[in-house]
């Protein structure tokens, strides 16, 4: 058996708890990484584990949301494992892709994980909208001093020289002077 134990936004102690669980499940090799399950991008340990797995192996995770948070990513990982003849099993959920029931439950968990991620995103956007309405959230502070740009331009200084003096990009100067800056 192989394993992966990626931890998303959790304290370091979670790794040891997951490792104990995976060792108790009979895992011989454990790969761990602290990356979000929201995407497979940058998940080098996951990629290494999938590449290393051979026909007849089983990849074990403690929970499916440690592997992927979107249905697309989860389906892609499962398809890749199935093509290699590798099973996927979760220790804390009745998921085992070597059985029909396990495959069905895996699909349902994927749907709920993505639903939870979307709800969290909606709540965050609602909170930002509310804070903006109350005047609490104004976004990122401006990184360009618009008054300085306009003052130098009024003195007849060219765009390239304004950019050099203020340490900003030339395109930013022209966007601001042409009224296209946000």
Catalytic residue IDs: 9
- Owner of token pair 């495959």: 103
C-alpha–C-alpha distance, residues 56 and 79, integer Å: 15
Q: How many CB atoms lie within 10 A of CB 161?
A: 14
Is 117 exposed, middle or buried (CB count within 10 Å of its CB: 0-12, 13-18, 19+)?
Answer: middle
C-alpha–C-alpha distance, residues 36 and 66, integer Å: 8
Q: Up-side HSE of residue 175: CA atoms within 13 Å toward CB?
A: 10
Buried b (16+ CB within 10 A) or exposed e, 52-89: ebeeebbbbbbbbbbbbbbbebbeebbeebeeeebbbb
């Amino acid at each position: 058996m192989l394993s992966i134990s990626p931890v998303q936004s959790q304290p370091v102690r979670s790794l040891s708890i997951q490792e104990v669980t995976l060792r108790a499940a009979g895992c011989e090799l454990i790969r761990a990484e602290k990356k979000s399950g929201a995407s497979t991008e940058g998940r080098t340990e996951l990629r290494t584990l999938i590449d290393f797995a051979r026909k007849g192996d089983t990849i074990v995770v403690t929970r499916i949301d440690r592997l992927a948070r979107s249905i697309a990513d989860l389906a892609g990982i499962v398809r890749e494992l199935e093509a290699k003849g590798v099973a996927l099993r979760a220790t804390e959920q009745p998921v085992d892709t070597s059985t029909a029931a396990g495959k069905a439950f895996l699909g349902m968990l994927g749907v709920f994980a993505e639903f939870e991620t979307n709800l969290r995103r909606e709540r965050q956007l609602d909170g930002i909208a509310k804070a903006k309405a109350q005047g609490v959230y104004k976004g990122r502070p401006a990184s360009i001093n618009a008054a300085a740009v306009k003052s130098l331009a009024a003195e007849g200084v060219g765009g390239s020289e304004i950019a050099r003096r203020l340490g900003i990009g030339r395109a930013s100067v022209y966007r601001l002077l042409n009224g296209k800056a946000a």
